[in-house]
Amino acid sequence: MLQTTRTVPVVFVNVTDPVASGFVESLARPGGTATGFASAEYGMAGKWLELLKQIAPHVKHAAVIRNPRVASGSGQYGAIQAVAPFLGMETSAIDARDAGEIERGIMALAPSSNAGLIVTANGATLVHRELIIALAARLKVPTVYWQRIFATSGGLISYGDDPIDQYRRAAS
């Protein structure tokens, strides 16, 4: 059983939702000895939708690849849904539980010329990034990714934190 330390500081990095993950009580008042860096605050997800609209103004529908098993999947998708009406867009979710589910979701976008894709911050999208990038490119679906590694691996555009910088800053 893991016991909470009351004296040794705990520094976390690359955590999408430190509150839902149980590391801190709230972002405003973390409490305890834990501190760290959130990798993709939910408000950032709304920015992904804004960027999608800027790079592809014809897009009216954004499919969002998210992991429904983790709180951040619902939180990021909720932030995107909140911004969508202001941009005149609709959204739908593609669950990222496995490669087959991701592939079916992206392939369903193929017939639409007004669809775009947002890839949210989670381990499943990172693991399946080559598949996601290849399908989005082949189908010519404009896509915004949550981390730079997607863009350097061939994805269209990314917007997010620098995870290496988080580790450097955590060490200090």
Q: What was the pLDDT predicted at 116?
A: 97
Residues 126 and 59 in one domain: yes
Residues 108 and 141 in one domain: yes
Q: What is the CATH number of the domain that holds 127?
A: 3.40.50.2300
Residues 72 and 16 in one domain: no
Residues 19 and 79 in one domain: no
What pTM was estimated for this model as a whole? 0.82
Residues 130 and 49 in one domain: yes
Please tell me what DSSP assigns to residue 84: G
Rounded CA gap, 61 and 58, in Å?
Answer: 9
Structural domain count of the chain: 2
Residues 132 and 120 in one domain: yes
pLDDT one-digit tens code per residue, 110-124:
888 899 999 998 888
Q: What was the pLDDT predicted at 117?
A: 97
Q: What was the pLDDT predicted at 43?
A: 79
Contacts 24+ apart (CB under 8 A), 10-13: 10/34, 10/35, 10/36, 11/35, 11/36, 11/170, 12/36, 12/37, 12/170, 13/37, 13/39, 13/163, 13/166, 13/167, 13/170
Residues 106 and 53 in one domain: yes
Instruction: Pick out the chain residues at pLDDT < 50.
Output: 1-2
Q: What was the pLDDT predicted at 150?
A: 95
Residues 52 and 25 in one domain: no
How high is the mean pLDDT of the chain? Answer: 87
Question: Is there a domain that residue 3 lies in?
Answer: no
Q: What was the pLDDT predicted at 161?
A: 77
List the domain range (segments joined by +) for residue 16: 10-40+162-171
